A and B are shown apart, each in its own frame.
Chain A
Protein backbone atom coordinates (compact mmCIF):
# COMPACT_ATOMS: atom_id res chain seq x y z
CA UNK A 1 0.00 0.00 0.00
CA UNK A 2 2.93 2.36 0.41
CA UNK A 3 3.60 2.06 -3.29
CA UNK A 4 0.20 3.26 -4.43
CA UNK A 5 0.23 7.03 -4.68
CA UNK A 6 -2.57 8.84 -2.92
CA UNK A 7 -3.34 10.90 -5.98
CA UNK A 8 -3.74 7.89 -8.19
CA UNK A 9 -6.82 7.08 -6.18
CA UNK A 10 -9.11 10.07 -6.75
CA UNK A 11 -11.99 7.60 -6.78
CA UNK A 12 -11.41 6.91 -3.08
CA UNK A 13 -11.55 10.58 -2.28
CA UNK A 14 -14.74 11.21 -4.22
CA UNK A 15 -16.47 8.46 -2.25
CA UNK A 16 -15.29 9.42 1.22
CA UNK A 17 -16.02 13.10 0.61
CA UNK A 18 -19.51 12.40 -0.70
CA UNK A 19 -20.40 10.09 2.18
CA UNK A 20 -18.88 12.45 4.74
CA UNK A 21 -20.98 15.30 3.37
CA UNK A 22 -24.18 13.28 3.64
CA UNK A 23 -23.19 12.13 7.11
CA UNK A 24 -22.53 15.60 8.41
CA UNK A 25 -25.18 17.66 6.62
CA UNK A 26 -28.17 16.85 8.89
CA UNK A 27 -26.09 17.60 11.98
CA UNK A 28 -24.97 20.87 10.44
CA UNK A 29 -28.61 21.62 9.62
CA UNK A 30 -29.62 21.02 13.23
CA UNK A 31 -26.96 23.37 14.49
CA UNK A 32 -27.77 26.06 11.94
CA UNK A 33 -31.51 25.86 12.45
CA UNK A 34 -31.14 26.43 16.17
CA UNK A 35 -30.34 30.06 15.38
CA UNK A 36 -33.36 30.56 13.16
CA UNK A 37 -36.93 31.50 13.85
CA UNK A 38 -39.74 29.17 12.79
CA UNK A 39 -40.54 31.50 9.89
CA UNK A 40 -36.95 31.42 8.64
CA UNK A 41 -36.78 27.64 8.81
CA UNK A 42 -40.03 27.43 6.94
CA UNK A 43 -39.32 29.97 4.21
CA UNK A 44 -35.61 29.58 3.72
CA UNK A 45 -34.48 26.22 5.07
CA UNK A 46 -31.21 26.21 3.13
CA UNK A 47 -30.09 29.74 3.96
CA UNK A 48 -28.00 31.02 6.80
CA UNK A 49 -29.75 32.46 9.84
CA UNK A 50 -30.10 36.24 9.87
CA UNK A 51 -28.36 36.55 13.22
CA UNK A 52 -26.36 34.30 15.49
CA UNK A 53 -27.93 35.03 18.83
CA UNK A 54 -27.52 32.71 21.77
CA UNK A 55 -30.77 33.85 23.34
CA UNK A 56 -32.62 30.62 22.55
CA UNK A 57 -29.90 28.67 24.28
CA UNK A 58 -29.96 30.93 27.30
CA UNK A 59 -33.72 30.61 27.69
CA UNK A 60 -33.52 26.85 27.40
CA UNK A 61 -30.68 26.63 29.86
CA UNK A 62 -32.66 28.60 32.42
CA UNK A 63 -35.76 26.45 31.92
CA UNK A 64 -34.18 23.01 32.08
CA UNK A 65 -31.84 21.83 34.87
CA UNK A 66 -29.42 20.79 32.20
CA UNK A 67 -26.42 20.49 34.51
CA UNK A 68 -28.27 18.07 36.80
CA UNK A 69 -29.42 15.95 33.85
CA UNK A 70 -25.91 16.02 32.47
CA UNK A 71 -24.39 14.75 35.72
CA UNK A 72 -26.98 11.97 35.91
CA UNK A 73 -26.35 10.98 32.31
CA UNK A 74 -22.60 10.87 32.91
CA UNK A 75 -22.94 8.77 36.07
CA UNK A 76 -25.27 6.31 34.37
CA UNK A 77 -23.33 6.04 31.12
CA UNK A 78 -19.83 5.76 32.57
CA UNK A 79 -20.78 3.24 35.25
CA UNK A 80 -22.75 1.15 32.76
CA UNK A 81 -19.95 1.09 30.21
CA UNK A 82 -17.22 0.22 32.70
CA UNK A 83 -19.25 -2.61 34.20
CA UNK A 84 -20.60 -4.04 30.97
CA UNK A 85 -17.17 -4.13 29.33
CA UNK A 86 -15.58 -5.62 32.44
CA UNK A 87 -18.21 -8.31 32.94
CA UNK A 88 -18.43 -9.15 29.27
CA UNK A 89 -14.66 -9.35 28.83
CA UNK A 90 -14.57 -11.95 31.58
CA UNK A 91 -17.48 -13.88 30.15
CA UNK A 92 -16.30 -13.67 26.53
CA UNK A 93 -12.82 -14.80 27.55
CA UNK A 94 -14.38 -17.83 29.21
CA UNK A 95 -16.54 -18.66 26.21
CA UNK A 96 -14.00 -17.99 23.46
CA UNK A 97 -10.78 -19.31 24.95
CA UNK A 98 -11.97 -22.43 26.73
CA UNK A 99 -13.77 -25.39 25.30
CA UNK A 100 -16.19 -26.44 27.99
CA UNK A 101 -19.09 -28.35 26.56
CA UNK A 102 -21.64 -25.80 27.70
CA UNK A 103 -19.89 -22.76 26.25
CA UNK A 104 -21.90 -22.65 23.05
CA UNK A 105 -25.09 -22.84 25.06
CA UNK A 106 -24.06 -19.97 27.31
CA UNK A 107 -23.03 -17.91 24.31
CA UNK A 108 -26.39 -18.53 22.74
CA UNK A 109 -28.19 -17.67 25.93
CA UNK A 110 -26.46 -14.32 25.86
CA UNK A 111 -27.55 -13.70 22.29
CA UNK A 112 -31.22 -14.39 23.02
CA UNK A 113 -31.58 -10.94 24.51
CA UNK A 114 -31.05 -9.38 21.10
CA UNK A 115 -33.84 -11.31 19.47
CA UNK A 116 -36.78 -10.10 21.42
CA UNK A 117 -38.07 -6.62 22.15
CA UNK A 118 -37.29 -6.01 25.83
CA UNK A 119 -40.28 -3.67 25.92
CA UNK A 120 -42.41 -6.81 26.01
CA UNK A 121 -41.29 -7.49 29.56
CA UNK A 122 -41.71 -3.99 30.87
CA UNK A 123 -44.38 -4.83 33.44
CA UNK A 124 -42.50 -7.72 35.10
CA UNK A 125 -39.39 -5.54 34.92
CA UNK A 126 -41.11 -2.65 36.64
CA UNK A 127 -42.31 -4.94 39.43
CA UNK A 128 -38.79 -6.37 39.78
CA UNK A 129 -37.28 -2.88 40.04
CA UNK A 130 -39.87 -1.90 42.59
CA UNK A 131 -39.15 -4.98 44.69
CA UNK A 132 -35.43 -4.24 44.50
CA UNK A 133 -36.18 -0.69 45.60
CA UNK A 134 -34.62 0.72 42.46
CA UNK A 135 -37.48 2.88 41.18
CA UNK A 136 -36.14 6.43 41.02
CA UNK A 137 -32.62 5.17 41.45
CA UNK A 138 -29.94 5.61 38.82
CA UNK A 139 -28.98 1.98 39.48
CA UNK A 140 -32.13 0.85 37.69
CA UNK A 141 -30.81 2.51 34.54
CA UNK A 142 -27.29 1.19 35.04
CA UNK A 143 -28.49 -2.39 35.47
CA UNK A 144 -30.72 -2.08 32.40
CA UNK A 145 -27.88 -0.69 30.32
CA UNK A 146 -25.56 -3.48 31.41
CA UNK A 147 -28.17 -6.15 30.79
CA UNK A 148 -29.36 -4.88 27.42
CA UNK A 149 -25.80 -4.11 26.29
CA UNK A 150 -24.57 -7.59 27.14
CA UNK A 151 -25.74 -9.48 24.01
CA UNK A 152 -24.05 -7.21 21.47
CA UNK A 153 -20.93 -6.83 23.61
CA UNK A 154 -20.68 -10.59 23.99
CA UNK A 155 -21.12 -11.14 20.27
CA UNK A 156 -18.36 -8.70 19.35
CA UNK A 157 -15.92 -9.61 22.11
CA UNK A 158 -16.33 -13.37 21.71
CA UNK A 159 -15.80 -13.01 17.98
CA UNK A 160 -12.58 -11.10 18.46
CA UNK A 161 -11.28 -13.26 21.30
CA UNK A 162 -11.53 -16.19 18.94
CA UNK A 163 -9.33 -14.51 16.35
CA UNK A 164 -6.45 -14.02 18.83
CA UNK A 165 -3.59 -16.45 18.11
CA UNK A 166 -3.17 -19.18 20.74
CA UNK A 167 0.62 -18.87 20.73
CA UNK A 168 0.61 -15.63 22.69
CA UNK A 169 -1.49 -17.12 25.42
CA UNK A 170 0.62 -20.24 25.55
CA UNK A 171 3.79 -18.21 25.92
CA UNK A 172 2.33 -16.29 28.82
CA UNK A 173 1.14 -19.43 30.52
CA UNK A 174 4.63 -20.91 30.17
CA UNK A 175 5.81 -17.93 32.16
CA UNK A 176 3.34 -18.91 34.84
CA UNK A 177 0.55 -16.45 34.18
CA UNK A 178 -2.91 -17.25 35.55
CA UNK A 179 -6.18 -16.76 33.75
CA UNK A 180 -6.71 -13.19 34.85
CA UNK A 181 -3.20 -12.22 33.84
CA UNK A 182 -3.55 -13.85 30.46
CA UNK A 183 -6.74 -11.92 29.96
CA UNK A 184 -5.57 -8.62 31.35
CA UNK A 185 -1.94 -8.44 30.21
CA UNK A 186 -1.93 -10.50 27.04
CA UNK A 187 -5.29 -10.58 25.32
CA UNK A 188 -7.05 -7.34 26.24
CA UNK A 189 -4.23 -5.07 25.03
CA UNK A 190 -4.51 -6.80 21.66
CA UNK A 191 -8.25 -6.37 21.67
CA UNK A 192 -8.15 -2.60 21.71
CA UNK A 193 -9.97 -2.19 18.39
CA UNK A 194 -12.82 -4.39 19.57
CA UNK A 195 -12.83 -2.88 23.05
CA UNK A 196 -12.97 0.59 21.55
CA UNK A 197 -15.95 -0.47 19.49
CA UNK A 198 -17.93 -1.93 22.36
CA UNK A 199 -17.11 1.01 24.62
CA UNK A 200 -18.39 3.47 22.05
CA UNK A 201 -21.48 1.47 21.21
CA UNK A 202 -22.43 0.89 24.83
CA UNK A 203 -21.78 4.47 25.74
CA UNK A 204 -24.02 5.73 22.97
CA UNK A 205 -26.93 3.51 23.79
CA UNK A 206 -26.63 4.25 27.50
CA UNK A 207 -26.44 7.96 26.81
CA UNK A 208 -29.38 8.05 24.41
CA UNK A 209 -31.74 5.62 26.12
CA UNK A 210 -35.00 7.31 26.99
CA UNK A 211 -37.40 4.41 27.40
CA UNK A 212 -36.17 3.09 30.75
CA UNK A 213 -35.67 6.52 32.39
CA UNK A 214 -39.17 7.36 31.27
CA UNK A 215 -40.55 4.29 33.03
CA UNK A 216 -38.30 3.98 36.10
CA UNK A 217 -37.56 7.60 36.93
CA UNK A 218 -40.25 10.02 38.01
CA UNK A 219 -38.19 12.37 40.17
CA UNK A 220 -36.89 15.35 38.23
CA UNK A 221 -33.59 15.28 40.13
CA UNK A 222 -32.82 11.81 38.74
CA UNK A 223 -33.69 12.38 35.11
CA UNK A 224 -31.24 12.07 32.24
CA UNK A 225 -30.71 14.26 29.19
CA UNK A 226 -32.87 12.30 26.70
CA UNK A 227 -35.90 12.53 28.98
CA UNK A 228 -35.38 16.25 29.35
CA UNK A 229 -35.13 16.49 25.59
CA UNK A 230 -38.29 14.50 25.09
CA UNK A 231 -40.29 16.99 27.11
CA UNK A 232 -39.01 19.72 24.79
CA UNK A 233 -41.02 18.22 21.95
CA UNK A 234 -44.22 18.85 23.82
CA UNK A 235 -43.27 22.28 25.06
CA UNK A 236 -41.93 23.71 21.82
CA UNK A 237 -43.86 21.93 19.12
CA UNK A 238 -44.44 25.23 17.34
CA UNK A 239 -41.15 26.94 18.10
CA UNK A 240 -38.70 25.11 15.88
CA UNK A 241 -35.75 27.33 16.69
CA UNK A 242 -35.96 26.38 20.37
CA UNK A 243 -36.56 22.77 19.49
CA UNK A 244 -33.40 22.65 17.39
CA UNK A 245 -31.47 24.41 20.12
CA UNK A 246 -32.68 21.77 22.57
CA UNK A 247 -31.72 18.95 20.24
CA UNK A 248 -28.30 20.50 19.74
CA UNK A 249 -27.82 20.86 23.49
CA UNK A 250 -28.81 17.24 24.01
CA UNK A 251 -26.50 15.94 21.30
CA UNK A 252 -23.52 18.20 21.93
CA UNK A 253 -22.07 16.56 25.07
CA UNK A 254 -21.97 13.18 23.35
CA UNK A 255 -20.29 14.70 20.29
CA UNK A 256 -17.70 16.62 22.27
CA UNK A 257 -16.98 13.55 24.35
CA UNK A 258 -16.54 11.51 21.21
CA UNK A 259 -14.31 14.07 19.53
CA UNK A 260 -12.10 14.27 22.61
CA UNK A 261 -12.05 10.53 23.15
CA UNK A 262 -11.90 9.56 19.50
CA UNK A 263 -8.20 10.35 19.32
CA UNK A 264 -7.66 7.75 22.03
CA UNK A 265 -9.96 5.29 20.36
CA UNK A 266 -8.55 5.76 16.93
CA UNK A 267 -4.99 5.49 18.20
CA UNK A 268 -6.05 2.38 20.02
CA UNK A 269 -7.43 1.08 16.78
CA UNK A 270 -4.24 1.54 14.82
CA UNK A 271 -1.98 0.51 17.68
CA UNK A 272 -3.91 -2.70 18.11
CA UNK A 273 -3.58 -3.39 14.43
CA UNK A 274 0.15 -2.88 14.26
CA UNK A 275 0.98 -5.31 17.03
Chain B
Protein backbone atom coordinates (compact mmCIF):
# COMPACT_ATOMS: atom_id res chain seq x y z
CA UNK B 1 0.00 0.00 0.00
CA UNK B 2 2.62 2.46 1.09
CA UNK B 3 4.83 1.95 -1.91
CA UNK B 4 1.86 2.22 -4.16
CA UNK B 5 0.73 5.63 -2.93
CA UNK B 6 4.21 6.97 -3.44
CA UNK B 7 4.40 5.61 -6.94
CA UNK B 8 1.14 6.87 -8.33
CA UNK B 9 0.78 10.33 -9.61
CA UNK B 10 -2.81 11.09 -8.66
CA UNK B 11 -2.13 10.59 -4.98
CA UNK B 12 -5.30 12.15 -3.73
CA UNK B 13 -7.53 9.86 -5.72
CA UNK B 14 -5.55 6.81 -4.71
CA UNK B 15 -5.69 7.55 -1.03
CA UNK B 16 -9.40 7.83 -1.31
CA UNK B 17 -9.57 4.43 -2.98
CA UNK B 18 -7.19 2.51 -0.80
CA UNK B 19 -7.76 4.01 2.58
CA UNK B 20 -11.43 4.57 2.81
CA UNK B 21 -12.58 4.20 6.37
CA UNK B 22 -14.78 1.28 5.33
CA UNK B 23 -11.68 -0.86 5.10
CA UNK B 24 -11.70 -0.99 8.89
CA UNK B 25 -14.97 -2.88 8.75
CA UNK B 26 -13.29 -5.82 7.02
CA UNK B 27 -12.01 -7.63 10.10
CA UNK B 28 -15.08 -6.85 12.23
CA UNK B 29 -17.36 -9.87 11.52
CA UNK B 30 -14.57 -12.37 12.17
CA UNK B 31 -13.48 -10.47 15.27
CA UNK B 32 -16.95 -10.32 16.79
CA UNK B 33 -17.71 -14.02 16.45
CA UNK B 34 -14.22 -15.03 17.48
CA UNK B 35 -14.18 -12.75 20.51
CA UNK B 36 -17.61 -13.86 21.65
CA UNK B 37 -17.23 -17.60 21.26
CA UNK B 38 -13.52 -18.20 21.77
CA UNK B 39 -11.80 -15.33 23.56
CA UNK B 40 -14.46 -14.57 26.12
CA UNK B 41 -15.04 -18.13 27.43
CA UNK B 42 -11.32 -18.84 27.50
CA UNK B 43 -10.47 -15.67 29.39
CA UNK B 44 -13.30 -16.32 31.81
CA UNK B 45 -11.99 -19.81 32.43
CA UNK B 46 -8.36 -18.73 32.71
CA UNK B 47 -9.30 -16.60 35.68
CA UNK B 48 -10.25 -19.83 37.47
CA UNK B 49 -6.57 -20.61 37.85
CA UNK B 50 -6.33 -17.99 40.60
CA UNK B 51 -9.10 -19.46 42.69
CA UNK B 52 -9.45 -22.46 44.95
CA UNK B 53 -12.34 -24.81 44.29
CA UNK B 54 -14.38 -27.09 46.43
CA UNK B 55 -15.98 -29.46 44.00
CA UNK B 56 -17.77 -27.15 41.59
CA UNK B 57 -17.98 -24.06 43.71
CA UNK B 58 -15.35 -21.39 43.43
CA UNK B 59 -14.16 -20.44 46.89
CA UNK B 60 -11.45 -17.88 47.40
CA UNK B 61 -8.79 -16.02 45.48
CA UNK B 62 -5.50 -17.80 46.10
CA UNK B 63 -3.08 -15.94 43.85
CA UNK B 64 -0.48 -18.22 42.35
CA UNK B 65 -1.11 -21.11 44.73
CA UNK B 66 -2.49 -23.40 42.03
CA UNK B 67 0.61 -22.83 39.92
CA UNK B 68 2.89 -23.55 42.85
CA UNK B 69 0.98 -26.73 43.65
CA UNK B 70 1.16 -27.82 40.04
CA UNK B 71 4.94 -27.67 39.96
CA UNK B 72 5.95 -28.57 43.48
CA UNK B 73 3.43 -31.12 44.72
CA UNK B 74 3.52 -34.77 43.78
CA UNK B 75 2.17 -36.39 41.70
CA UNK B 76 1.52 -33.21 39.66
CA UNK B 77 5.14 -32.15 39.29
CA UNK B 78 6.37 -35.40 37.80
CA UNK B 79 3.20 -35.81 35.74
CA UNK B 80 3.80 -32.40 34.21
CA UNK B 81 7.39 -33.18 33.35
CA UNK B 82 6.49 -36.56 31.91
CA UNK B 83 3.69 -35.14 29.79
CA UNK B 84 5.90 -32.30 28.59
CA UNK B 85 8.57 -34.75 27.44
CA UNK B 86 5.93 -36.69 25.54
CA UNK B 87 4.75 -33.49 23.85
CA UNK B 88 8.29 -32.70 22.77
CA UNK B 89 8.65 -36.16 21.23
CA UNK B 90 5.27 -35.63 19.57
CA UNK B 91 6.55 -32.46 17.92
CA UNK B 92 9.90 -33.85 16.83
CA UNK B 93 8.50 -37.04 15.35
CA UNK B 94 5.71 -35.22 13.55
CA UNK B 95 8.13 -32.72 12.08
CA UNK B 96 10.42 -35.46 10.78
CA UNK B 97 7.96 -38.15 9.75
CA UNK B 98 4.80 -36.27 8.84
CA UNK B 99 6.13 -33.01 7.47
CA UNK B 100 9.20 -34.59 5.92
CA UNK B 101 7.11 -37.14 4.08
CA UNK B 102 4.46 -34.57 3.17
CA UNK B 103 7.10 -32.31 1.63
CA UNK B 104 8.52 -35.17 -0.39
CA UNK B 105 5.09 -36.32 -1.57
CA UNK B 106 4.02 -32.80 -2.48
CA UNK B 107 7.23 -32.43 -4.47
CA UNK B 108 6.61 -35.69 -6.31
CA UNK B 109 3.05 -34.67 -7.14
CA UNK B 110 4.23 -31.23 -8.20
CA UNK B 111 6.67 -32.97 -10.53
CA UNK B 112 3.61 -34.52 -12.19
CA UNK B 113 3.59 -38.24 -11.63
CA UNK B 114 0.92 -40.15 -13.50
CA UNK B 115 -2.20 -40.54 -11.41
CA UNK B 116 -1.41 -37.46 -9.34
CA UNK B 117 -5.11 -36.88 -8.78
CA UNK B 118 -5.54 -40.33 -7.31
CA UNK B 119 -2.57 -39.98 -5.00
CA UNK B 120 -3.64 -36.58 -3.73
CA UNK B 121 -7.03 -38.01 -2.83
CA UNK B 122 -5.54 -41.15 -1.31
CA UNK B 123 -3.20 -39.21 0.97
CA UNK B 124 -5.96 -36.92 2.06
CA UNK B 125 -8.75 -39.44 2.68
CA UNK B 126 -7.66 -40.34 6.27
CA UNK B 127 -8.01 -36.68 7.22
CA UNK B 128 -11.71 -36.92 6.44
CA UNK B 129 -12.35 -39.43 9.20
CA UNK B 130 -13.46 -38.49 12.65
CA UNK B 131 -10.73 -38.96 15.26
CA UNK B 132 -12.99 -41.46 17.01
CA UNK B 133 -13.06 -43.58 13.89
CA UNK B 134 -9.31 -43.24 13.45
CA UNK B 135 -8.68 -44.33 17.02
CA UNK B 136 -11.00 -47.29 16.73
CA UNK B 137 -9.53 -48.52 13.45
CA UNK B 138 -5.94 -48.28 14.58
CA UNK B 139 -6.65 -49.90 17.92
CA UNK B 140 -7.83 -52.85 15.91
CA UNK B 141 -4.89 -52.86 13.50
CA UNK B 142 -2.42 -52.59 16.39
CA UNK B 143 -4.18 -55.23 18.48
CA UNK B 144 -1.51 -57.68 19.66
CA UNK B 145 -3.49 -60.89 19.14
CA UNK B 146 -5.54 -60.38 16.02
CA UNK B 147 -4.39 -57.06 14.64
CA UNK B 148 -3.23 -56.73 11.06
CA UNK B 149 0.21 -55.41 11.92
CA UNK B 150 1.29 -58.33 14.07
CA UNK B 151 -0.21 -60.80 11.59
CA UNK B 152 1.70 -59.16 8.77
CA UNK B 153 4.93 -59.32 10.76
CA UNK B 154 4.24 -62.99 11.45
CA UNK B 155 3.76 -63.72 7.76
CA UNK B 156 6.99 -61.93 6.93
CA UNK B 157 8.79 -64.09 9.47
CA UNK B 158 9.47 -61.16 11.78
CA UNK B 159 7.87 -62.69 14.86
CA UNK B 160 10.40 -61.10 17.18
CA UNK B 161 9.05 -57.67 16.20
CA UNK B 162 5.49 -58.53 17.21
CA UNK B 163 4.36 -56.81 20.36
CA UNK B 164 1.46 -55.24 22.20
CA UNK B 165 2.01 -51.90 20.43
CA UNK B 166 -0.39 -49.86 22.51
CA UNK B 167 0.10 -51.75 25.77
CA UNK B 168 3.89 -51.62 25.88
CA UNK B 169 5.09 -48.31 27.35
CA UNK B 170 8.09 -48.43 25.00
CA UNK B 171 6.01 -48.39 21.83
CA UNK B 172 2.64 -46.90 22.84
CA UNK B 173 3.53 -43.22 22.42
CA UNK B 174 5.42 -43.71 19.17
CA UNK B 175 2.49 -45.73 17.81
CA UNK B 176 0.05 -42.96 18.66
CA UNK B 177 2.27 -40.32 17.10
CA UNK B 178 2.65 -42.34 13.91
CA UNK B 179 -1.12 -42.77 13.70
CA UNK B 180 -1.37 -39.00 14.03
CA UNK B 181 1.12 -38.66 11.18
CA UNK B 182 -1.02 -41.00 9.09
CA UNK B 183 -3.99 -38.81 9.88
CA UNK B 184 -2.37 -35.44 9.21
CA UNK B 185 -0.18 -36.31 6.24
CA UNK B 186 -2.68 -35.26 3.58
CA UNK B 187 -3.07 -31.81 5.06
CA UNK B 188 0.69 -31.30 4.95
CA UNK B 189 0.74 -32.43 1.33
CA UNK B 190 -1.98 -29.92 0.47
CA UNK B 191 -0.19 -27.02 2.14
CA UNK B 192 3.16 -27.86 0.59
CA UNK B 193 1.60 -28.47 -2.79
CA UNK B 194 -0.15 -25.11 -2.64
CA UNK B 195 3.26 -23.68 -1.78
CA UNK B 196 5.00 -25.38 -4.71
CA UNK B 197 2.28 -24.29 -7.06
CA UNK B 198 2.53 -20.67 -5.94
CA UNK B 199 6.15 -20.57 -7.09
CA UNK B 200 6.16 -18.44 -10.23
CA UNK B 201 6.79 -20.69 -13.21
CA UNK B 202 9.11 -18.08 -14.71
CA UNK B 203 11.54 -18.45 -11.82
CA UNK B 204 11.73 -22.20 -12.28
CA UNK B 205 12.12 -21.91 -16.04
CA UNK B 206 14.80 -19.28 -15.67
CA UNK B 207 16.77 -21.46 -13.26
CA UNK B 208 16.48 -24.37 -15.68
CA UNK B 209 17.79 -22.27 -18.50
CA UNK B 210 20.75 -21.51 -16.27
CA UNK B 211 21.32 -25.27 -16.10
CA UNK B 212 20.27 -25.87 -12.51
CA UNK B 213 19.29 -29.48 -11.78
CA UNK B 214 18.17 -31.83 -9.02
CA UNK B 215 19.59 -30.89 -5.66
CA UNK B 216 20.71 -27.48 -6.81
CA UNK B 217 17.15 -26.68 -7.92
CA UNK B 218 15.86 -27.89 -4.58
CA UNK B 219 18.36 -25.88 -2.57
CA UNK B 220 18.48 -22.72 -4.63
CA UNK B 221 14.91 -22.42 -5.88
CA UNK B 222 12.39 -24.64 -4.10
CA UNK B 223 13.52 -24.52 -0.48
CA UNK B 224 13.84 -20.73 -0.21
CA UNK B 225 10.53 -20.17 -1.96
CA UNK B 226 8.85 -22.79 0.19
CA UNK B 227 9.84 -21.07 3.41
CA UNK B 228 6.36 -19.58 4.01
CA UNK B 229 4.60 -22.95 3.76
CA UNK B 230 7.34 -24.67 5.78
CA UNK B 231 6.92 -22.09 8.51
CA UNK B 232 3.14 -22.39 8.46
CA UNK B 233 3.42 -26.15 8.83
CA UNK B 234 6.01 -25.81 11.59
CA UNK B 235 3.85 -23.44 13.60
CA UNK B 236 0.79 -25.60 13.07
CA UNK B 237 2.60 -28.82 13.94
CA UNK B 238 4.07 -27.19 17.01
CA UNK B 239 0.73 -25.97 18.30
CA UNK B 240 -1.00 -29.18 17.40
CA UNK B 241 1.70 -31.30 19.08
CA UNK B 242 1.46 -29.38 22.32
CA UNK B 243 -2.32 -29.48 22.21
CA UNK B 244 -2.37 -33.19 21.34
CA UNK B 245 -5.45 -34.64 22.94
CA UNK B 246 -8.15 -36.21 20.78
CA UNK B 247 -6.25 -39.21 19.49
CA UNK B 248 -4.59 -40.06 22.81
CA UNK B 249 -7.95 -39.78 24.53
CA UNK B 250 -9.67 -41.94 21.92
CA UNK B 251 -7.01 -44.65 21.98
CA UNK B 252 -5.49 -44.60 25.47
CA UNK B 253 -8.10 -42.90 27.64
CA UNK B 254 -7.75 -39.95 29.98
CA UNK B 255 -5.01 -41.62 32.05
CA UNK B 256 -2.48 -41.68 29.17
CA UNK B 257 -2.21 -45.43 29.53
CA UNK B 258 -0.18 -47.51 29.95
CA UNK B 259 1.37 -46.09 33.09
CA UNK B 260 1.26 -42.47 31.78
CA UNK B 261 3.51 -43.38 28.85
CA UNK B 262 1.18 -41.62 26.38
CA UNK B 263 0.19 -38.77 28.68
CA UNK B 264 0.30 -35.29 27.15
CA UNK B 265 -0.23 -31.88 28.71
CA UNK B 266 -3.68 -31.53 27.20
CA UNK B 267 -4.73 -34.99 28.41
CA UNK B 268 -3.35 -34.12 31.85
CA UNK B 269 -5.36 -30.91 31.72
CA UNK B 270 -8.52 -32.78 30.78
CA UNK B 271 -7.99 -35.24 33.62
CA UNK B 272 -7.61 -32.39 36.11
CA UNK B 273 -10.49 -30.28 34.88
CA UNK B 274 -13.02 -32.95 34.03
CA UNK B 275 -11.86 -35.98 35.97
CA UNK B 276 -11.73 -39.51 34.68
CA UNK B 277 -15.04 -41.20 34.16
CA UNK B 278 -13.67 -44.68 34.72
CA UNK B 279 -11.77 -43.96 37.91
CA UNK B 280 -14.18 -41.66 39.62
CA UNK B 281 -13.89 -37.99 38.78
CA UNK B 282 -11.81 -35.59 40.74
CA UNK B 283 -12.49 -32.24 39.15
CA UNK B 284 -9.58 -30.06 40.18
CA UNK B 285 -10.79 -27.08 38.19
CA UNK B 286 -8.33 -24.58 39.65
CA UNK B 287 -5.33 -26.80 38.93
CA UNK B 288 -6.64 -27.65 35.47
CA UNK B 289 -7.00 -23.98 34.61
CA UNK B 290 -3.52 -23.28 35.96
CA UNK B 291 -2.11 -25.99 33.73
CA UNK B 292 -3.98 -24.61 30.72
CA UNK B 293 -2.59 -21.15 31.48
CA UNK B 294 0.97 -22.47 31.63
CA UNK B 295 0.46 -24.38 28.39
CA UNK B 296 -1.02 -21.29 26.80
CA UNK B 297 1.89 -19.03 27.66
CA UNK B 298 4.42 -21.62 26.61
CA UNK B 299 2.84 -22.02 23.17
CA UNK B 300 2.32 -18.26 22.92
CA UNK B 301 5.97 -17.42 23.49
CA UNK B 302 7.22 -20.12 21.14
CA UNK B 303 4.77 -19.10 18.42
CA UNK B 304 5.83 -15.47 18.76
CA UNK B 305 9.40 -16.51 18.13
CA UNK B 306 8.35 -18.53 15.08
CA UNK B 307 6.32 -15.68 13.68
CA UNK B 308 9.12 -13.16 14.19
CA UNK B 309 11.25 -15.51 12.14
CA UNK B 310 8.52 -15.77 9.54
CA UNK B 311 8.25 -12.00 9.10
CA UNK B 312 12.01 -11.68 8.78
CA UNK B 313 12.15 -14.33 6.08
CA UNK B 314 9.47 -12.60 4.13
CA UNK B 315 11.38 -9.34 4.21
CA UNK B 316 14.45 -11.08 2.87
CA UNK B 317 12.49 -12.54 0.00
Contacts and interface: CB of A to CB of B under 8 A. Distances in A.
Q: Do A and B touch (CB < 8 Å)?
A: yes
Interface of A: 1, 4, 6, 9, 12-13, 15-16, 19-20, 22-27, 29-30, 41-43, 45-46, 86-88, 90-91, 93-95, 97-99, 106, 108-125, 128, 143-144, 146-148, 150-152, 154-156, 159-160, 162-163, 166, 169-170, 173-174, 176-179, 193-194, 196-197, 200-201, 204, 208, 210, 226, 229-230, 233, 243, 247, 250-251, 254-255, 258-259, 262-263, 266, 269-270, 272-274
Q: Chain B interface secondary structure, helix, strand, loop or mixed?
A: helix
Contacts of A121: 40-45
Given A99-B1, A147-B36, A274 B186 contact: no
Contacts of B44: 121, 124
Contact of B314 (A6, A154, A156, A162): A162
Contacts of B3: 166
B129 A42 contact: no
A113 B201 contact: no
B141 A251 contact: no
A262 B125 CA distance: 11
A92 to B, nearest CB: 9
Q: Give 8 nearest A-B pairs by CB, closest first.
A: A121-B41, A273-B197, A147-B37, A193-B194, A91-B27, A87-B30, A20-B122, A124-B44
B266 interface: yes
B70 interface: no
A178 B113 CA distance: 42
Nearest to B16: A178
Interface residues of B, number: 104
B138 A26 contact: yes
Contacts of A112: 39, 42, 296, 300
B7 A204 contact: no
Given A114-B239, A155-B236, A163-B198, A15 B108 contact: yes
A186 to B, nearest CB: 13
Contact of B146 (A45, A123, A201): A45
Nearest to B120: A266
Query: Which secondary structure dominates chain A's binding surface?
Result: helix
A179 B18 contact: yes
A124 B285 CA distance: 13
Contacts of B24: 94
Given A121-B45, A176-B17, A155 B232 contact: yes
Given A45-B148, A115-B296, A23 B122 contact: yes
